[in-house]
């Protein structure tokens, strides 16, 4: 009994670590154990993604009784951005500034560390947010909660996928490096399987094409990161999350599959 209780507490602590990192939820349970739980909390990234998506889907279902779908789409995008403290949008902006600069690798990495946002960063954030709005506002009211359920799951899945197949690009380390571990590939495969099974359950006709589109765009973006930066950084992990959410929304909105 004592062993089971200890195991449950360790699992709960790791879940709380993931939830604290990925959201603004003010949990203090076992916060001092975060440093030792970073790598072990990865398995809960897709779980947190599903929780965020579930809340977004529930809120959108209520709001659709009061507002047109375009307004609900906008409010849902705001919720998805702010539930994570805009951390991933910040990563997207910094990644765009670095990747689209004409500077060599080290200079690009320095640009990404700068707290100021450049023109490319503003454009990238604007394009992704407008893309999400266009996709969500173009689907039916019945499908909107489903899209919102899947988008955060897609985003957190591609974070794990990136960590599994792309080395960390900063020699000095960084925030993203804290989560890298020898089990990253195993965790990523579990997350990818969960991602596919969830889509297969709620939107079976789009399970294969949506998975291919989300992961395919992740591979293309990470190829650019590898070529320009030598690997991933905390910023590019955040950018992957945003791109994954966008591609999931586009998948749901597409009429051809």
Q: At what angle do helices 69-82 and 144-165 cross, to 10 degrees?
A: 30
In this prediction the pTM is: 0.91
How many whole angstroms separate alpha carbon 217 and alpha carbon 223? 10
Beta carbons of 17 and 46 less than 8 angstroms apart: no
Q: Looking at the domain assignment, is residue 194 inside a domain?
A: yes
How far does Cα 122 stand from its chain's mean position? 19
- Domains identified in the chain, total number: 1
Q: Looking at the domain assignment, is residue 16 inside a domain?
A: no
How many whole angstroms separate alpha carbon 144 and alpha carbon 172? 42
Range of the domain at 245: 44-253
How many whole angstroms separate alpha carbon 184 and alpha carbon 163? 6
| Contacts for 138 with CB less than 8 Å, ≥ 6 apart | 253
The pLDDT, as a whole number, for residue 173 is 63
Averaged pLDDT, groups of 10, the chain, 257 residues long:
64 86 82 74 92 97 96 97 93 93 85 86 96 96 96 96 86 67 84 94 92 95 92 92 97 75
| DSSP-assigned letters across all residues of 27-56 | --TTGGGHHHHTGGGGGGHHHHHHHHHHHH
Q: Tokens at residue 70, please?
A: 């375009």
The pLDDT, as a whole number, for residue 6 is 55
pLDDT digits (tens, 9 = 90+) for 205-225: 889 999 999 999 999 999 999
């Amino acid at each position: 009994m004592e062993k089971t209780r200890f195991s449950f507490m360790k699992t709960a602590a790791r879940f709380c670590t993931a939830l604290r990192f990925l959201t603004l939820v003010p949990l203090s349970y076992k916060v001092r154990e975060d440093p030792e739980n970073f790598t072990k909390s990865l398995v809960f990234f897709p779980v947190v993604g599903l929780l965020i998506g579930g809340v977004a889907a529930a809120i959108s279902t209520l709001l659709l009784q009061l507002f047109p779908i375009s307004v609900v789409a906008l409010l849902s995008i705001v919720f998805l951005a702010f539930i994570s403290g805009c951390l991933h949008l910040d990563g997207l902006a910094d990644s765009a500034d670095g990747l689209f600069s004409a500077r060599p690798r080290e200079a690009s990495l320095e640009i990404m560390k700068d707290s100021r946002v450049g023109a490319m960063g503003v454009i990238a954030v604007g394009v992704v947010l407008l893309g999400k709005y266009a996709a969500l506002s173009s689907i039916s009211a019945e499908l909107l909660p489903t899209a919102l359920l899947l988008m955060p799951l897609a985003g957190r899945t591609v974070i794990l996928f990136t960590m599994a197949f792309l080395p960390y690009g900063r020699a000095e380390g960084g925030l993203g490096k804290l989560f890298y571990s020898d089990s990253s590939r195993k965790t990523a495969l579990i997350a990818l399987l969960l991602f596919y099974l969830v889509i297969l359950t709620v939107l079976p006709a789009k399970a294969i094409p949506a998975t291919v589109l989300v992961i395919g765009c992740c591979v293309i973006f990470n190829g650019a990161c590898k070529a320009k930066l030598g690997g991933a950084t905390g910023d590019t992990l955040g950018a992957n999350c945003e791109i994954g959410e966008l591609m999931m929304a586009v998948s749901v909105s597409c009429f051809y599959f």
